[in-house]
Amino acid sequence: MQRQILKNKNKITVVNAILIVVGFLSKWTVGNIEIFTWSLVIASVLGVSPIAIQAYQALRVKVVSIDVLVTIAVIGAFLIRNFEESAIVTFLFLFGAYLEQRTLNKTRSAIKELTEMAPENALKLMEDGEFLEVEVDEVDVGDILLVKTGAKIPVDGTVLTGEGSINEASITGESIPVAKEKGSKVYAGTILDNGTIQIVADRVGEDTTFGKIIELVEEAQDSKSEAERFIDRFSKYYTPAVLVLAFIVWLISRNIELAITILVLGCPGALVIGVPVSHVAGIGNGARHGVLLKGSEVISDFSRLDTMVFDKTGTLTVGNPSVAEKEYYGDKIEEALGYLASIERESDHPLAKAVLEDISEITISVVEDTEVIKGEGIIASVNGHRVAVGNVALMERENVKIDERAKNDIARFEKNGNSLVLTSVNGELKVLMGVRDQIRPGVKDDLMKLKKLRVKNLIVLSGDNQGTVDLVSSKLGLTEAHGNMLPEDKSAYIKKLIEKGHIVAFVGDGVNDSPSLALANIGIAMGSGTDVAIETSDVVLMNSDFSRLPHALGLTKATARNMRQNIIIAVGVVMILLASLIFSDWMNMSIGMLVHEGSILAVILNGMRLLRYKLRQ
């Protein structure tokens, strides 16, 4: 019986509404008071039944819920034969609850989309040698699975046979397919775009990278901030307090109408739901944009951030030195470049790699009599020519004449922070190349956006030498730059910043700077979904994508603002309702319930705006 009533709550709401309409129509059109009264009586009894059952269940576990307040109010209205109000209040309450559930589902949609990306089935190799479709829960570590084109990889594993390309967007946020062959690692939740592969399961279920991401986001949305815990405690005493207040008012005034109106007006609905709603929508927006926020405490700290520290120059630079500038001298340059490439091809020096990438297609000649001069470069014989590749010191050793123009070029390249690679053929300078690590594209704009979001201090702490660090810093307009720092120097520096009262975020890949990540108020991991990054940080930027950083900061600010708005709406509505009860004569139970349900929808809709949040350009 109880269960039936609760299951058919929506149908009850509809019948309840029809009865109310019929009642009022018969009163207004034909003036039949009898039909009016009876249909409202039936509507009241029908409408209050699911609410009363919920109230009873709550009381059994010693909780004074909103249902309890509403049930008493409706019974009170019924007793003083105000059937109009008892019927309308039950309808508004039921219909409000229905709308709440519908809209709440929307605010949670972003996270649901993520969890629905989890694989459900797998083709598992059975003992008889056939592949059989099983639920993903039935896959154990070591099982062999078949994945066909278009299917989801069910577990984290290693490719045994076959090849294909996989879209790893669910893990890395990067949608360009990655080629996989025998021995490659594949991840649960990613999609095999083409090809067919057999894999062996290395990690299954919640242990997979995707499983961990889901768990993290799910835990994040239900973790509670200090403010939320306060509201929880508050509402625990608040609802019984409203009940007591209504009772006292009744004792003093003997006015049942007034007492039950207080019960309805005092409902704390918008207050208890306002903060979780903002929170889940904010975290959901982040999850959609590759920003994993670990809980609401993180949101509140992150939104008040004033100092951002970067773990190394490599976070701001491409981390892959390349030829940034070059100059040629004299003739037969093509030949000289060929010799240069031939020599560099045999070297494993990082500069050599950059030089080769720059030259790429050229005729390669045989290199003989190679002599490596430590700290200077290489001298060798190519096609009978004496070729030297190295720095200025090597050129001096070779008595290569460096004219005025070349001298100016060298000075300019050095000033721009390049490492120099000079090439001479038979004692004549031919090529000058400047190699340097380049600023990541877009980083400068992103830093500007962060400044606009009121991050006052942008600091880089790096193990590189001070010169390199200063150069990056001046190019990007950072406020401070410190080189030659060991991991412990970095964490000591962060400690000092926090002691000075700054709210500090530390941005790093979390590989060797986990103490700093943990120590900072906010640890931001720029990982491509690696375990370490996921576990030690407060915020994970999925795709190591720097441009998500301003979005993350803007989002947490918007979420924190949204929570405050919702608290103001909720508290404001209750205060206005109570005030108008005292100072006006138009307030009654039905209007109170209407405004009240309206305020609940208002906070949910307000929270929903966060789902569409985008950083303004």
Partner 1 sequence: MKSATIQLETLACPSCLQKIEGALKSLEGIEKDTAKVSFNTSKVKLNFDEEKLSIEDIENAISKLGYEVIKYKVK
Token pair recorded at residue 209: 């990278």
Question: Which listed range, 191-199, 268-276, 458-466, 578-586, lies at the site for partner 1 (CB under 8 A)?
Answer: 268-276
Minimum CB separation of residue 278 from partner 1 in Å reads: 11
Residues shown for the chain: 617
Nearer to partner 1, 98 or 328 (CB): 98
Asked whether position 280 contacts partner 1 by CB under 8 A, the answer is yes
Minimum CB separation of residue 352 from partner 1 in Å reads: 53
Q: Could you give the string, one character per residue 200-239, with x where binding to partner 1 holds by CB under 8 A and - elsewhere?
A: ------------------x--xx---------x--x----
Residue 126 CB partners (closer than 8 Å, separation 6+): 132
Residue 485 three-state SS: coil
Nearer to partner 1, 50 or 377 (CB): 50
Nearer to partner 1, 475 or 609 (CB): 609
Yes or no: say if 44 and 90 are a contact pair by the CB < 8 Å rule.
yes
Nearer to partner 1, 38 or 98 (CB): 98
CA angle, 191 then 196 then 198, to 5°: 95
Asked whether position 261 contacts partner 1 by CB under 8 A, the answer is no
Active site residue 331: no
Which of 274, 271, 242 is CA-nearest to residue 581? 242
Instruction: Give CA–CA dist 419/433, Å, rounded.
Output: 8
- Catalytic choice (143, 156, 301, 311): 311
Among 42, 52, 67, 517, which residue sits at the site for partner 1 (rule: CB under 8 A)?
A: 67
Sign of CA dihedral 475, 479, 484, 487: negative
Residue 53 three-state SS: helix
Instruction: Please count the other Cβ atoms lying within 10 Å of the Cβ belonging to residue 180.
Output: 24
Asked whether position 188 contacts partner 1 by CB under 8 A, the answer is no
Question: Which listed range, 96-104, 123-131, 533-541, 547-555, lies at the site for partner 1 (CB under 8 A)?
Answer: 96-104
Among 61, 251, 366, 582, which residue sits at the site for partner 1 (rule: CB under 8 A)?
A: 61
Nearer to partner 1, 57 or 322 (CB): 57
Token pair recorded at residue 76: 């009170």
Sign of CA dihedral 454, 457, 463, 466: positive
Nearer to partner 1, 163 or 215 (CB): 215
Minimum CB separation of residue 153 from partner 1 in Å reads: 21
Minimum CB separation of residue 42 from partner 1 in Å reads: 22
Asked whether position 276 contacts partner 1 by CB under 8 A, the answer is yes
Site for partner 1 in 470-509 (CB under 8 A): none
Instruction: Give CA–CA dist 540/548, Å, rounded.
Output: 10
Question: Which listed range, 2-10, 393-401, 412-420, 491-499, lies at the site for partner 1 (CB under 8 A)?
Answer: 2-10
The pairs formed by 67-72 with CB atoms below 8 angstroms and a separation of 24 or more are 68/239, 68/243, 69/239, 69/242, 69/243, 69/263, 69/264, 69/266, 69/267, 70/263, 70/264, 70/267, 72/243, 72/246, 72/260, 72/263
Residue 79 CB partners (closer than 8 Å, separation 6+): 256
What does the DSSP 8-state code read for residue 268?
Answer: -
Among 14, 22, 100, 141, which residue sits at the site for partner 1 (rule: CB under 8 A)?
A: 100
For 199-293, where are the alpha helices, taking DSSP H only? Answer: 209-222, 226-253, 256-265, 269-288
Yes or no: say if 158 and 185 are a contact pair by the CB < 8 Å rule.
yes
Nearer to partner 1, 215 or 489 (CB): 215
User: Cα(first)–Cα(last) distance of the chain, in Å?
Assistant: 57
Asked whether position 596 contacts partner 1 by CB under 8 A, the answer is no
Question: Which listed range, 272-280, 302-310, 319-327, 461-469, lies at the site for partner 1 (CB under 8 A)?
Answer: 272-280
Nearer to partner 1, 50 or 157 (CB): 50
Question: Which three-class secondary structure string do you get for 287-348?
Answer: HHCCEEECCHHHHHHHHCCCEEEECCHHHHECCCCEEEEEEECCCCHHHHHHHHHHHHCCCC
Instruction: Give CA–CA dist 394/376, Å, rounded.
Output: 5
Question: Which listed range, 246-254, 256-264, 265-273, 502-510, lies at the site for partner 1 (CB under 8 A)?
Answer: 265-273
Asked whether position 62 contacts partner 1 by CB under 8 A, the answer is yes
Residue 372 CB partners (closer than 8 Å, separation 6+): 378
Residue 363 CB partners (closer than 8 Å, separation 6+): 338
Among 136, 272, 394, 558, which residue sits at the site for partner 1 (rule: CB under 8 A)?
A: 272
Nearer to partner 1, 65 or 566 (CB): 65
What does the DSSP 8-state code read for residue 27?
Answer: I
Total chain residues near partner 1 (CB under 8 A) = 35
Asked whether position 175 contacts partner 1 by CB under 8 A, the answer is no
Question: Which listed range, 54-62, 75-83, 376-384, 525-533, lies at the site for partner 1 (CB under 8 A)?
Answer: 54-62
Residue 362 three-state SS: coil
Site for partner 1 in 116-155 (CB under 8 A): 137
Nearer to partner 1, 61 or 251 (CB): 61
Asked whether position 241 contacts partner 1 by CB under 8 A, the answer is no
Q: Could you give the string, one character per residue 310-349, with x where binding to partner 1 holds by CB under 8 A and - elsewhere?
A: ----------------------------------------
Asked whether position 389 contacts partner 1 by CB under 8 A, the answer is no
Instruction: Give CA–CA dist 309/461, Å, rounded.
Output: 7
Yes or no: say if 220 and 292 are a contact pair by the CB < 8 Å rule.
yes
Residue 376 CB partners (closer than 8 Å, separation 6+): 390, 391, 393, 394, 397
Among 70, 72, 111, 533, which residue sits at the site for partner 1 (rule: CB under 8 A)?
A: 111
Question: Which listed range, 10-18, 48-56, 303-311, 397-405, lies at the site for partner 1 (CB under 8 A)?
Answer: 48-56
Which of 311, 549, 525, 363 is CA-nearest to residue 447? 549
Minimum CB separation of residue 273 from partner 1 in Å reads: 6
Nearer to partner 1, 82 or 103 (CB): 103
- Contact footprint for partner 1 (CB under 8 A): 2-3, 6-7, 50, 53-54, 57-58, 60-63, 65-67, 97, 100-101, 104-105, 108, 111, 137, 218, 221-222, 232, 235, 269, 272-273, 276, 279-280
- Write out the catalytic residue numbers: 311
